[in-house]
């Protein structure tokens, strides 16, 4: 079994704390303490906190962009849009730390999001734009702003994933009146149906 490098350990711990507290409220001291190293040891691998943040999260933005490019090109427009939404949903399920970081970036206007991550995110939007334009050309979809559709997908899925404590508290207050908790896969499928229904001519 391959030994995990010190740099990889720092990145893993950083991902945990960036997801819990956000960029601005995460200190290198906290990360160093959890790694059982000194703060200067972090500087050996990373120029500063911004560099650590970039290396920690950009690889995840690249991964989702790559998955979108691979998964959403072989079907018809309906299938490709379904795959696009499902790929986002599956990625957020399997990367809860990324989900929390992405939700924080959306909430604060992406002011700490590295430009490289924005470029990767833009490639996913470009793929969605291509799907929607093809659907419009074929007379299947009404013309719609791709960014609006993207925000419906991302905001719904990240909000669902990060609002579980709130939903649990609401359920405690409302008791039996509260609707059963849907699982995330059902949320993804429901969202997909609603977006496609709304886009259809």
Is residue 54 in a domain? no
DSSP state of 141: B
Q: Which residues of 87-120 are buried (b: 16+ CB within 10 A; e: fewer)?
A: bbbbbbeebebbbbbbbbbeeeeeebbbeebeeb
CATH number of the CATH domain containing 109: 1.10.357.10
Is residue 2 in a domain? no
- Asked whether 158 and 103 are in contact (CB, 8 A), the reply is yes
pLDDT tens across the length of the chain (201 residues): 567 789 999 999 999 999 999 999 999 999 999 999 999 999 999 999 999 999 999 999 999 999 999 999 888 999 999 999 999 989 988 898 998 899 889 888 889 999 999 999 999 999 999 999 999 999 999 999 999 999 999 888 888 877 778 878 877 787 766 666 778 888 889 999 999 999 997
Cα gap 159→181, rounded to integer Å: 14
For the chain, the residue count is: 201
Domain count, the chain: 1
Strand, coil or helix: 83: helix
Is residue 126 in a domain? yes
pLDDT at 184: 81
Is residue 120 in a domain? yes
Is residue 166 in a domain? yes
Is residue 3 in a domain? no
pLDDT at 101: 92
Q: Which residue is associated with the tokens 């997909």?
A: 192
pLDDT at 185: 83
Is residue 67 in a domain? yes
Query: Which structural domain range is residue 89 located in?
Result: 59-199
Is residue 7 in a domain? no
pLDDT at 176: 62
- Asked whether 176 and 141 are in contact (CB, 8 A), the reply is no
pLDDT at 75: 86
């Amino acid at each position: 079994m391959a030994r995990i490098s010190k740099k990889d350990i720092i990145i893993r711990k950083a991902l945990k704390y960036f997801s819990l507290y956000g960029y601005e409220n995460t200190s290198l001291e906290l990360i160093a303490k959890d790694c059982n190293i000194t703060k200067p040891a972090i500087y050996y691998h990373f120029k500063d906190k911004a560099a650590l943040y970039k290396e920690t999260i950009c690889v995840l933005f690249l991964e989702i962009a790559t998955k979108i490019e691979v998964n959403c090109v072989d079907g018809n427009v309906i299938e490709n849009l379904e795959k696009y939404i499902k790929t986002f949903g599956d990625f957020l399920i399997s990367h809860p730390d990324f989900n929390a970081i992405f939700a924080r970036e959306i909430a604060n206007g992406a002011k700490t999001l590295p430009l490289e991550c924005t470029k990767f995110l833009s490639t996913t939007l470009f793929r969605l734009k291509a799907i929607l334009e093809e659907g419009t050309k074929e007379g299947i979809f009404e013309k719609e702003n791709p960014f609006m559709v993207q925000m419906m997908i991302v905001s719904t899925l990240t909000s669902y994933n990060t609002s579980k404590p709130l939903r649990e508290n609401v359920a405690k207050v409302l008791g039996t009146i509260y609707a059963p908790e849907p699982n995330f896969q059902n949320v993804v499928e429901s969202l997909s149906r609603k977006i496609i229904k709304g886009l259809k001519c």
